[in-house]
Amino acid sequence: MGGANAPLRMTWGHYAPLRKTPEYVIMIASEESLRMTYKDLVQLYIEAGMIMDKEIWNKPKVCSNIGGEALIEGVMMRGNNTIAVSVRKASGEIYTETKSSVPVTKKNKFLGLPFIRGGVSLIESMVVGVKALMESAELVDLIEEEEKETKFDKWVKKWLGDKYFNYMIYFSVVVALAISIGLFMLLPNLIAGLFRFDKQTAGGALLANLIEGLIRITLFISYVYLVSKNKEIKRVFQYHGAEHKTIYAYENEEELTLENVRKHTTLHPRCGTTFMFIVIIISIIVFSFAGWHNPLINILLRLALLPVIAGISYEAFKLSARSSSKIVRLISIPGLLLQKITTQEPDDSMLEVAIASLKAVLQEAPKTDEETVAVSEGAL
């Protein structure tokens, strides 16, 4: 029974009054006096996901492979072989442009194989996304005409010729990859290396990799939170929410109207935010098997294992997006909670843009039950 100083022992039933908001998870975790069984902790974690919109876990009526990306004052939707970019111009009109785009994984059977297609799809999505983002900036007329071309711009265009825009896209992708790898892969490893304990033993190596993983997660969440404070990025996140709502309406076989789209949640299991979180979790596991070495070897190993991590993450992402298993839901919950930041409630004008983009894709391509999963990029 215990005396007056005996620690409080609570069962899962005691938490019932608290299961109203996600904050209860943090509150309970901070109470050092509470002792929970492993079963209680797992159930608590599952409940954290359950209190989110139940629509997230419902099986869609249409097995859609349509994905998208939030742009500057616009939305890109991508179907089987078509891309549609819709933006709201400074004049207020919605401009929509469609183009054919067959994924590389469909053109080449080898690149479409499981665990290989992940890395290929990630790079291709970045190229397509950056191109759409740059085009949307020009279409919206955010840049004044006299500021569009500096002397340096003119010199670069003259030097590169007609392929100037393509070179700029690939250069932007390379820079983005370099920054992402440096900030979220290499920097956490260097910081973890500063902790002084024996990392040559199996236990020490595992602990070092876990510390590295926690640092990586902290940096990623901090980055997402900080960029969300920018006024322009917040609007992009609202378009991100509009993209998700519109796709939900389509997957539920509803007519694409403001009334039908508006009622849906902004959180989607096939979002790129969830995918990036899965990449981080998989990287922690894979790097743990690689052991711990000197800084140079650690960096080389992490760079070499990136294609492996991308491949495994893509397959895990496909599974989590399609499965109704509670175990699989556990994998999705952190990414879905992070979407509370990367997706914001859009206004009707944003929903109209997302609807226009999706309608353009659907007009170009019929419905399909194909198993391919299109990653909804978001705007990170």
CB neighbours of residue 79 within 10 Å = 25
Taking a C-beta distance cutoff of 8 angstroms, is the pair 237, 228 a contact? yes
Instruction: Please work out, in degrees rounded to the nearest 5, the angle formed at the alpha carbon of residue 100 by the alpha carbons of 94 and 104.
Output: 130
Instruction: Please tell me the distance from the alpha carbon of residue 127 to that of residue 122, in angstroms, as a whole number.
Output: 9
Residue 51: pLDDT over 90:
no
Q: What is the pLDDT of residue 213?
A: 92
Cross-sheet strand order for the sheet of 94-100: 67-71, 74-78, 82-88, 94-100
Write out the two tokens for 30: 């901070």
Residue among 179, 184, 186 nearest 297 (CA): 186
Q: What is the pLDDT of residue 61?
A: 81
For residue 177, give the 3-state DSSP assignment: helix
Overall average pLDDT of the 28-35 stretch = 39
Overall average pLDDT of the 211-238 stretch = 93
Mean pLDDT of the chain: 79
CA end-to-end span of the chain, whole Å? 52
| Amino acid identity, position 161 | G
pLDDT greater at residue 157 or residue 34? 157
Instruction: Please work out, in degrees rounded to the nearest 5, the angle formed at the alpha carbon of residue 354 by the alpha carbons of 101 and 73.
Output: 95
Residue 64's region, left for phi above 0, alpha for psi from -120 to 50, else beta, is beta
Write out the two tokens for 52: 């989110």
Helix axes 202-228, 231-251, angle to 10 degrees: 100
Residue 57 is classified by DSSP as G
How would residue 126 be classed by pLDDT, with cut points 50, 70 and 90? confident
Q: What is the pLDDT of residue 235?
A: 95
Instruction: Please tell me the distance from the alpha carbon of residue 46 to that of residue 57, in angstroms, as a whole number.
Output: 12
CB neighbours of residue 46 within 10 Å = 14
Taking a C-beta distance cutoff of 8 angstroms, is the pair 112, 163 a contact? no
Give whole-number Cα distances, 48 to 17, 162, 183, in Å.
14, 52, 29
β-pair type (94-100, 67-71) = unpaired
* CB within 8 Å of 53: residues ≥ 6 apart: 265, 267
Taking a C-beta distance cutoff of 8 angstroms, is the pair 132, 243 a contact? no
Chain centroid, CA 345 distance in Å: 17
Residue among 305, 367, 331, 352 nearest 60 (CA): 367
Q: What is the pLDDT of residue 143?
A: 44
Q: What is the pLDDT of residue 364?
A: 65
Overall average pLDDT of the 322-348 stretch = 85
- The model's pTM: 0.77
pLDDT digits (tens, 9 = 90+) for 349-362: 999 999 999 999 99
Overall average pLDDT of the 80-98 stretch = 91
Residue 204: pLDDT over 60:
yes
Residue 313: pLDDT over 90:
yes
pLDDT digits (tens, 9 = 90+) for 102-118: 888 988 999 999 999 99
For residue 74, give the 3-state DSSP assignment: strand
CB neighbours of residue 232 within 10 Å = 11
